Structure 1
Amino acid sequence: MSRTSYVFTSESVSEGHPDKVSDRISDTIVDLFMAKDPEARVACETLTTTNRVVLAGEIRGKGIWENGAWAPGVEKEIEDAVRAAVKDIGYEQDGFHWKTLTFENHLHGQSADIAVGVDAADGKDEGAGDQGIMFGYASNETPELMPATLAYSHRILKRLAELRHGGEKRLEPDAKSQVSLFYENGVPVRATAIVVSTQHAKGMTQADVAALVKPVVAEVLPEGFITDETVWHINPTGVFEIGGPDGDAGLTGRKIIVDTYGGASPHGGGAFSGKDCTKVDRSAAYAARYLAKNVVASGLADRCTIQLSYAIGVAEPQSVHVDLHGTGKISEEVLERELPAMIGGATPRAIREHLGLNRPIYARTAAYGHFGREPDADGGFSWERTDLTDKLKALA
């Protein structure tokens, strides 16, 4: 029997965290190429370190990489896009500056062996870009149907970033947060611990930083969650002036639990950023979240986890598993049978078409989570729609 009273913790990292800088750059490249060719293939990895950005990976697309070479002007567009992304985050420091950083581009053409397995041809549907397992999750503990610990961790850092972009010069881009909540009868009721580390201007004390951070946390958390017993750790090392890629190297795809469900759900192991949506690491994880969210939004369960699995070059999922965690008002076997059909069989092509994923909508996903966001008018975060609820209710 599962416990109903416990403490659970999730963390988040800001857009200026070195790994998130790398994610943002990789997804900026995805957007650049998708804008040129909606069928582009992109697998872009980014390394960031002291005043240096390095790209590597495989790409393909019309007007991008053709006949074994870059299309005219594309290499300059790539560098310009990278520098603009770093500038937008806010890095103008001696150790990492959008204008002076050294840039290296080692992207090259996609492997023919991968292309032949993935591309549709001779009546064969487009296959999955790789093997793997993907998970989607939803919980009714927050309005966005996300784990509360992660939702609040994201909101703290997003609010600090808004203050910084709005002119708060004492805050710098790199930051991390961590929220521990006590769950009573399965419902979050109070914060037991709050951890926030944020890069700051020179000369600030811990007390100075705390005076900035604590009102933000109080604004974000529900009334009554902070008590006299809440433990605070604000910049617990005492000083955080050197940060970002100058303080620690960053790599694409190292914050996958921050990107998903904060540890409240399993993760398949594949990262999202830098990949076009023929890669089921990304598209099938979005599809699984979409289905799980609609199950919970329809009232058929309080919590839902969905696993999908794929084989490289094969279109159909190898398995579909649904777990309602004992909260379901419908058979899990019924959902396993019916859910894939609601998105065209859950093939890579069907997922991309149903969710409209062949668009330049990915740089915005790189910080503050890929899930629990509002769908955008241009198709961004389409996997957060709840447009299947009527169909699902009819199954009950």
Structure 2
Amino acid sequence: MIEKVNPSHPDKVADRIAGAIVDLAYKKEENPKIAVEVLLGHGVVNLIIESSVNISNAEAEDIVSRITKRTDLKVSLVMVAQDPILASNQDGGIRCGDNGIFRGVPLTEEERTLSKIAHDIYERYPSDGKYVLGNGKLIICQSNAKTEDLKKLYPNAVINPLGDWVGGTDVDAGATNRKLGSDMAQSVSGGGLMGKDLSKADVSVNIYAFLKAQKTGKPVELFCAIGDTEIDGKPYREIVEIARNYITRIGGFEKFAEWGLF
């Protein structure tokens, strides 16, 4: 079974804001060190940013208003420099930026099917939605859509069990990296994908393991310690470049945050 949420789900809105801030950091510096946490809901957006580059209040507010399509939200920003000991880990080269275990698992047909359903519905209704598929049962919760209209499209699904609803961040709060299953399917392990630079293993090693699993058709299990210079028989800088190429190909960290890895 698998759950998928769309880019307008509050948790994914938080991920997208974090991703946009990381994109901005990469525009300011070739290899920035940054970690972004976002908690939003009910009129407030809280941002905590640890970074080697400065993100101004105005820049953060512009990103929030663009992604949420709202100008009435109160943005609270805490901007601090990265811990100097952690920062020194990258002195003189690109090394693993975290400890962790990582797993890549080939996607199942069920996971691919639900991803397509989620994309198709979101193209028709670009608002907050969540979708679940397991043992042949499809559950669709789609805001700002007539339940009866969706039943015509998916007659065998359970649709909006509580009836029509509006969704969004005034209904539910959102936080970064709270929808790991939606982003990674069975590859969930270690830390979250979103709001971090490429030196972080949570980003690069997770992407690398997932891509390798899809290519080989076999599960991949990796682990690393902060400061490692080699993972899976490859220099860590190569792992980072594989992840960088993937992020670049799909359009950046903000685009990556919309749907995750599938």
Q: Same fold (TM over 0.5)?
A: yes
- 1:161 maps to what in 2? 122
- 2:200 maps to what in 1? 279
**Contact residue 135 and residue 307 of structure 1 kept, 8 A:** yes
- 1:249 maps to what in 2? 173
Q: 1:176 aligns with which of 102, 118, 130?
A: 130
Higher-Rg structure is 1
Deviation sequence 1:5-47 (CA, Å, 0-9, x none): xxxx111111111111111110011111112212011100100
Q: Tell me, in whole angstroms, the C-alpha distance in 2 between the residues paired with 1:84 and 1:126.
A: 33
Q: Tell me, in whole angstroms, the C-alpha distance in 2 between the residues paired with 1:213 and 1:369.
A: 27
**Percent identical:** 29
Q: Tell me, in whole angstroms, the C-alpha distance in 2 between the residues paired with 1:45 and 1:213.
A: 37
Pairing of 1:173-322 with structure 2 (within 5 A): 173-181=127-135, 192-200=136-144, 208-215=146-153, 217=154, 230=156, 232-241=157-166, 243-261=167-185, 265-296=186-217, 304-317=218-231, 320=232
**Contact residue 187 and residue 210 of structure 2 kept, 8 A:** no
- 2:258 maps to what in 1? 367
**Contact residue 208 and residue 242 of structure 2 kept, 8 A:** no
Q: Which structure would you say has the larger RCO, counting Cα contacts within 8 Å and 6 or more residues apart?
A: 2
- 1:14 maps to what in 2? 6
More helix by share: 2
**Contact residue 44 and residue 107 of structure 1 kept, 8 A:** no
Name which of structure 1's ranges 34-43 and 277-286 shifts more when overlaid on structure 2.
Answer: 34-43
**Contact residue 178 and residue 194 of structure 1 kept, 8 A:** yes
Deviation sequence 1:284-324 (CA, Å, 0-9, x none): 0111122222223xxxxxxx11011110122223xx5xxxx
**Contact residue 28 and residue 82 of structure 1 kept, 8 A:** no
**Contact residue 147 and residue 163 of structure 2 kept, 8 A:** no
Deviation sequence 1:310-369 (CA, Å, 0-9, x none): 10122223xx5xxxxxxxxxxxxxxxxxxx3xxxx141x221224435857111111233
- 1:100 maps to what in 2? 72
For this pair of structures, how many residues does the alignment match? Answer: 259
After TM superposition, which residue ranges in structure 1, 4 or more long, deviate above 4 angstroms? 357-360
Matched, 1:75 2:60: no
**Contact residue 192 and residue 203 of structure 2 kept, 8 A:** yes
Q: Return closer, same or farther for 1:154/1:258 CA change in 2, 3 Å cut-off.
A: same
Matched, 1:111 2:83: yes
SS in 1 for 2:259: coil
Q: Tell me, in whole angstroms, the C-alpha distance in 2 between the residues paired with 1:271 and 1:307.
A: 16
**Contact residue 198 and residue 244 of structure 2 kept, 8 A:** no
- 1:29 maps to what in 2? 21
- 1:5 maps to what in 2? none
Q: Tell me, in whole angstroms, the C-alpha distance in 1 between the residues paired with 2:131 and 2:235.
A: 35
| Gaps in structure 2 of 5+ consecutive residues | none
| Gaps in structure 1 of 5+ consecutive residues | 1-8, 88-97, 139-145, 166-172, 182-191, 202-207, 219-229, 297-303, 321-339, 372-396
Deviation sequence 1:351-392 (CA, Å, 0-9, x none): 122443585711111123323xxxxxxxxxxxxxxxxxxxxx
